[in-house]
Amino acid sequence: MTAFAFAILLTVVMTGIIALYARRRPVGSPLSWGEAFIGALFVFAYMLVLYGVLPNAWLQWCDGPLKWRSDKIGIPLGLLHHWRVNVGSTHIFTLNWLRNGHKYLGFLPVDKGLLFPHGITFFGRGKVTFTAQDMRDIVATVIYGVVVVVNVKGWQAWQARGKTKVATPELSTSAYGRPLVRKV
């Protein structure tokens, strides 16, 4: 969890640095060789964190402490199932949404922190099993999707720096204050 939290923090800080630099740098100002080199190195490190470190930290966290393996059938509930807060060796409180072992969260079957622990059945016509590893991979894919959108939006914002919107010309108005669409 520490590596994943640090990767998210590093991503936010690097994104903030780029946004601040984009505001301060005048559009069209000349760029020296050294500035270009440092900028390229920073963008390379940024892309490395976004596309390499962040998803890898998520996958390592899931494979390690969370133990989201392919033999764990069901969707992990995380904090919805059981949340135990300890400070050192002292137990502070426990939040148990399932009220001491009930097997349903509302109308959804739950067992040992997994939603649909025996798969999803369709009225006896088949069963779809969903593993914790599938959930891990879906979240990693969502991370990549968000990163691509942030990347493209960042490029668009950088290219649009200093551009002003083209003002629409004022239409002449009639005696009643309404805009004239055609000439009379």
Q: For residues 5-33, give the mean pLDDT.
A: 90
- Examine residue 56 and state whether it is found in any structural domain, yes or no: yes
Question: How many domains are there within the chain?
Answer: 2
- Given a cut of 80, whether residue 17 has pLDDT beyond it is yes
For residues 7 and 58, membership in a common domain is answered with yes
For residues 99 and 8, membership in a common domain is answered with no
- Examine residue 170 and state whether it is found in any structural domain, yes or no: no
For residues 44 and 78, membership in a common domain is answered with no
- Examine residue 174 and state whether it is found in any structural domain, yes or no: no
Tell me the per-residue pLDDT of 120-177, one tens digit each, with 9 for 90 and over. Answer: 777 777 778 888 888 899 999 999 999 999 899 988 888 888 777 777 766 677 777 7
Contact (CB, 8 A) for 11 and 146: no
Rounded-to-integer distance, Cα 68 and Cα 131, Å:
8
Rounded-to-integer distance, Cα 33 and Cα 43, Å:
15
- Examine residue 142 and state whether it is found in any structural domain, yes or no: yes
For residues 4 and 64, membership in a common domain is answered with yes
DSSP result, 167-180: PPPPPPB-TTSPBP
- Name residue 84's beta-bridge partners: 94
Instruction: Identify the domain boundary among 114, 130, 146.
Output: 130
Domain, as residue range, for 93: 73-130
Q: Hey, what are 5's tokens?
A: 């939290």
Rounded-to-integer distance, Cα 157 and Cα 14, Å:
15
Tell me the per-residue pLDDT of 55-95, one tens digit each, with 9 for 90 and over. Answer: 999 999 988 888 888 887 777 776 555 556 667 777 665 55
Rounded-to-integer distance, Cα 12 and Cα 79, Å:
24
Query: Which amino acid, residue 19?
Result: A
Rounded-to-integer distance, Cα 15 and Cα 20, Å:
9
For residues 13 and 65, membership in a common domain is answered with yes
Does pTM top 0.85 for this prediction? no
For residues 2 and 59, membership in a common domain is answered with yes
- Examine residue 165 and state whether it is found in any structural domain, yes or no: no
- Examine residue 178 and state whether it is found in any structural domain, yes or no: no
For residues 100 and 54, membership in a common domain is answered with no
